[in-house]
Amino acid sequence: MGQKNTMYLAEKEEELANLLSGLGLKRNVAEVIVFLAKTPRVTSREIDRETNLRHSEVAAVIHYLKKQGWIKSQEHKATSRGRPVNIYELAKPIAEIVNSIEKEKIKKTNDQLQLIQKLRKCVSLSYDSALFQSQTPICGETNEKIKRGHPPDNKYRQIALSPKENITLFNIP
């Protein structure tokens, strides 16, 4: 059985891959980004070989990276017979990729903070005695699951999140 080439990341490259995956990127994606940063203009076969990923995993990573706009490809005609080969390279420097990740994380965090603010508002409204007796939702739209015949337990008040993350607070008598 032949020995397979495996990419051995230097300490700095390993740290970069760990940091990228710590930010939420899949480990495969982080390793391919690091590999492309150190070895520009490579084929998917070279990525397979050097990162020790299967072809299907590399194809999925390439699809994700293209969708993010982080890599570009160029078709290169084979020197002999056969299909043309795609050559891949980073479309942006890693610093710009990190900026993109940062913007995405800030947006998600701000969205979650807005939900927390809505939740606080709904919870503070729920203790108003006039609203406490109400059978209608206090905040937001009603939850589709409850509309479809899954009533909340009659003993408890329920906070339900809709698929669109709208908060609904129900008063149960």
**Tens of pLDDT, residues 98-155:** 999 999 999 999 999 999 888 888 877 655 545 555 555 555 544 444 444 455 444 3
For residue 30, give the amino acid letter.
A
Tokens representing 14 are: 């390993």
Q: Which residue in this structure is represented by tokens 């590399």?
A: 58
Q: Which domains does the chain have, with CATH numbers?
A: 11-92 (1.10.10.10), 116-170 (no CATH)
User: Which is nearest to 65 in space by CA: 105, 34, 39?
Assistant: 34
In tens, the pLDDT along 25-72 reads 999 999 999 999 999 899 999 999 988 999 999 999 999 999 999 999
Closest CA to 170 of 126, 115, 129, 130: 126
- pLDDT in the model for residue 127: 56
pLDDT at 9: 63
- Give the Å distances, CA to CA, from 170 to 29, 37, 117, 161, 164: 43, 52, 18, 11, 17
Q: What is the pTM assigned to this prediction?
A: 0.64
Residue with tokens 């969708």: 67
Given a cut of 70, whether residue 160 has pLDDT beyond it is no
**Single-letter residue type at 3:** Q
Q: Could you count the other beta carbons within 10 Å of the beta carbon of residue 88?
A: 23
